[in-house]
Structure 1
Amino acid sequence: MKKLNVESDISKLKYLVIIFGLSIFFIAPYLSLSLQGISCMILVGLGAYFGHLKGGIVAAFLLSQGLVFGALFKYQSYLRERLKEQSLELTMEKDKLNKILYTTMDGFLILNTEGEIIEANKSYQEMIGYSREELLEMTIDDIDITKNKEEVKDHMERIMTDEQDRFETKCSCKNGEVIDVEVSTTYIDDLEEPIFVSFDRDITERKKTEQTLKESEAKFRSYIDNAPYGVFVINSRGEYIEVNEAACELSGYSKEELLNMSIEDVTVDRQKAKRHLVQLLEVGELSLEIMLLKKDGSKFHANINAVKASENRLLGFVEDITARKEAEEKVKEERDKLQKYFDITEVIVVNLDRTGKVELLNRKGCEILGVKEEEVLGHDWTENFVKEEDSAETKQIINSLLEGEIINDKNRIITKSGEERKILWHNAVLKDEQSQMNKILSTGIDITEVESLKEKVAYNKLKMEFFANISHEFRTPLNLIFSAQQMLEMYQKKLEPEQSSKMGKYTTIIKQNGRRLLRLANNLIDITKMDSGSFELELENCNIVSLVRKVACSVAEHIEYKELEFEFDSEIEEKIIACDPFNIERVILNLLSNAVKFTDIGDKVSVNIYTEEGKVLISVKDTGIGISQEKQELIFKRFGQADKSFTRSNEGTGIGLSIVKSIVELHNGQISVESEEGVGSEFIIELSDRKLAEGSSFQTNDRYNSQEIIDRIDVEFADIYDL
């Protein structure tokens, strides 16, 4: 409100005109008297004011930024000139006002006290979709859909009382769309007709964004509240600001209790907690294992991962890893036991990582080298202990082993005293939990003296003893490994599903590799017996058809695992012949195992029995990768394989078919192969159609339903599973 004083003898203000926007309203003047004369109180709105007074004119103009310019004119001639100037100024001010109102991005609306629209700018027209002419025929309740007429009237009356209001509402557009609108309204009552002036802004997108954010926050909160691990937020002093239900369950405290505590209160070592908090604030992230306290005073191992969310907010995740730590401790105990077993064996046991560095050397190895184990751990085996002339070949062997080849070799090692010893090595590759070959386990026997022997018989005898010893040495720790594995499986059943699944991977790796080593030990024992002539058959009259059928059907599950088609067929229902059922079963299992290993998904494996000229023929056929012509004679030789590259995905020692051939020949039979590379292979066993004399035992094969055959199948088929 501005005051214009005029010192004059003019006695009366006749009338006052206000130009507001595009409309003209006449109102009564505001007057006040002073000792010097008449004082005119002019209420300034938007526009200009003229006062026609006796003997002259008083005029007031609203300039920019609320300034008022006033003048008193006593002479009519001068008044005419000034009126022209004032008219021009008024026109300019009016244009300026219209430009502001019509170019603002917000909608501008003027209503009368009945809610009728009397003005709307272009932004409002575009926002709501109606033209100015259409809007001037409408009332506000035609657009505002959140209130009926009575509610609109009540709202306008409240605005009249408060003079202004700011609120959000929903408006219906001409095209039927409903939009969210933020409204800022002012009530002006010092005009001839009071009006409502409002600025309207479309906030539909903002409301959608806010709703999306709310939903996202609700979803995030749901994830946090239902997370299987503890989630917490602390400030820079370590005081809890927020915790989820899982965190409360882990600690034993209620949410209300934790929110009045700090991270130090639940940590066994409070000083360590302080140091970790400082580290988190400085670095911005932290991952550690730590001992925490529960409300009842008990302790548990926890894994904490935390990040700095802001200057005074730290977000953390906590998981109880007590079961895992206990399992790791049990594994460590078992590993220590294995170390003891390795130490009592009379062969060298050395474990290398994939770079050739020593991870383990048993007592016998230390004894031969003349060192202590701690002196060799972490050192390169080839560079430090292998004779220089043999080092290149040894490195190549290590690389080949890591690529999947099974190589047994000899090399010369240099002891601490400089003495040269010749070692015969048997090598195996160990896999990690991702089935990656990353370690080499080698057993070696010192054959320095053997090499010096002149007679081949003495050498062969020592070799037989070596294989016998190493086979039996493997059996003792293997039995303990299987016992430990069974204990771990029992413990695994008590764990939570996630921990049980992880533990299951380790027990499966132990079981499968244990079976592989057991098969290797069995094969080595049989080779030893065969070479020494002590391998004997236990012949009996047996229904060969029933025997082969039961063996074939018993492996159907393993064949289905590889998604292969399997077929068994026999041209005869029964055939009694003299054979060793256990070893015939072993022959069939070995051939089926090879067929499964060297076929792919969708291939076919079939077993067929038929007779021909006094012979019983058993065919094991597959549609796998086949064997080239030049390699077919190698496969029945000891340690011979059709292709070394097969060992990358199908590990083997190369002695299986050698044993198969020996067993068949001990039955006075023959085994042959017909194969085409890329088409498949067929192994045909020919057995003599003969029986034992009257009164000899007759085998019904009932015992082949027992657990024993299942165990033998699991050992023979250990190679077909990916670990």
Structure 2
Amino acid sequence: MPFQLTREERRIVVKIVTVYSLFGGLWIYLSDSVLGWLVRDPDIITRIATYKGLLFIAVTAALLYFLIGRYLIERKNLEKHIRLVEFAMARISDAFYLIDADGTFLDVNDAACRMRGYRREEFLAKRVSDIDPDFPPEAWAPHWDELKRSGSLTFEAVHSCKNGQAIDVEVTANYFRYMDTEYNCAVVRDISERKAAERELKQSEKELRSLMDLMPVGIAWSNNKGNIEYANHNFVEKFGYTLADVPTVEEWFLKAYPDASYREKLTSVWFASISEFHASGTEVPSFDVKVTCRDGSVRDMIINTLISHNRTLVIFTDVTERETLREELIKKQKLESIGLLAGGIAHDFNNILTAILGNISYAGLLIDKDHKAASLLLQAEKGAKRAAELAHQLLTFARGGEPITSSVAVARIIEDSLELVLHGSNVRSRVEIEDGVQNIKADSGQISQVFNNLIINAVQAMPDGGIISIRVSNFRIGQINNPYAVPVGAYVRIILDDEGRGIPSENLKNIFDPYFTTKSGGSGLGLASVQSIISKHGGHISVSSSIGSGTTFEILLPTSTEPAGEEVPSAGTALSGMAVEFGAGASLLVMDDEEMIREMASAMLEELGYRVTSCASGEEAVELYKVNYEAGTPFSAAIMDLTIPGGMGGRDAARAILDFDPGAQLIVSSGYSNDPIMSDYRHYGFAAVVVKPYGVAEIANVLSSLISSGKSAE
């Protein structure tokens, strides 16, 4: 093989020859010219020429020594540097590839051989496409062009080893030219452990996200730029917002807290707590917030904030139900307080009202209907009834007892309430009753009170007139998807709509609270008693409203399979000549601890034709009844006060009487109408019930029905 010099070696040889030629030529020309000008003797010229030649040889030898020595020193230094580089390349942990423009390996270091498992000569017999499947021969040219344009590329790849194993690597490729030849000097680092750790981290993160999606709290985290990177399933389900809706913390605050003043107050406190954490490591406290969801609803939340690795994680714990229960507990405590008050005054207050109302209705029997006092008595009776209604409303909150229920046609009650309340008003009604609507099991008086209150409220909400729409239908609640807090079963559903101004959202949640009212002169007991009555009937009531769109009440009441009972005439009918079957000498026993009630009842019943015997205690009643029974002149009926302070009441007295006269017609009477005995009087042996306060109509109808039929009356 002919001897070949490298380009650098040729450059050095040319440099030496050029210097030598210039120096030799100048020496010969200049020395001969000077010598010919100074010396004329040929012998001397010959001798000088000899010395000049020797000097030339010495000088050129010295020059050659200098030039060649310099070249050798540079070469030695270069070789030393090359050996140093080779030594270093052999010992670095990263692989080193020297690759030509065709993708052929020109040189590799020991680390490359160890990493791939090839011997050096095996490695140098391969191309890049042999170890990197991402660079087949057809892909190498575009890659090389890109490398030439950029000068350097860093990328991740998967390289194959001699044993078939694939390893993850990070490649830094560097393009350069040397002596008109293009090269790629690539440094390759084994990142298998890092990639394995990344895969494990991604798997852990995936499992963590799956776990967080199962958690019953909302979780979201953001980076230090304020971008929300993750929100779990509960967050999206609870609030309705996806990451597309709230991509940033700023956007979240704008949508979740639309009230500007509330948002400003919350953000200032929250961001101040985060700044305090960064400054001193103080834990960010939890906050109670109200979050506005995408559908407009508001949920009570406790937010806890955790900060780590430039990320802020927020946990949202939904306490809406807890807050609702807390509010319900407060409301229940209020109702219990009212109940204690009502229970405490009910007996005495209704006894007083019984004397007042009874005497007024009795007085109405004694005078002609055209008498001047008749209208005054009528007004007095109305006032006494209003007082009785207020007492009855208070009693709906009292603890214990159930309504005095029977099978009732709800349509009849609604029609009566509409006729009573809408009379003389500019409000019209539209009633839709589904065919075959079942009766309800209810206390007709209390349910009348419910519809009276609701219709009165609707009329007051429409001062300029309007329409009250009432829809009545059968409704069944199944086991699945039951949004109502009532048992599964059959109900009658009543929906009442008005066209009023609507109820502000801040008032809507309080309208069933006792004493809450926005009306001048209102007692705040109307809707509270409505809710209490519906609840005690095992039903459900809810309300929806918005400003300008009116108000809708939805009521569910349990159905009854029994036919509806007959309507009981009102007390006012007696004052206008109501036809009643008078006593015709039938004997009655009246037992009441209040003397004024005994006197009123005795006088009223005697006016109706009954013979009346009265007493103040259960013990006396049992004794009187027994004496008359054994004498063969038993009482036709006995009216017995349920509660006698410090003595035998109606319950124990009835038990004693029924022991010797199982057919006794006993009527229980009480001002404490929510006592269990009043709602289930037959179970305790009573044939009928009359609630205090009562007047002529109530007591006359009960007695007439009971005595004339000889059996129990409703």
Instruction: Please report the TM-score for the alignment, with normalisation by the length of structure 2.
Output: 0.36
Higher strand share goes to which structure? Answer: 1
Higher Cα Rg, which structure: 2
Instruction: Please report the TM-score for the alignment, with normalisation by the length of structure 1.
Output: 0.35
Higher helix share goes to which structure? Answer: 2
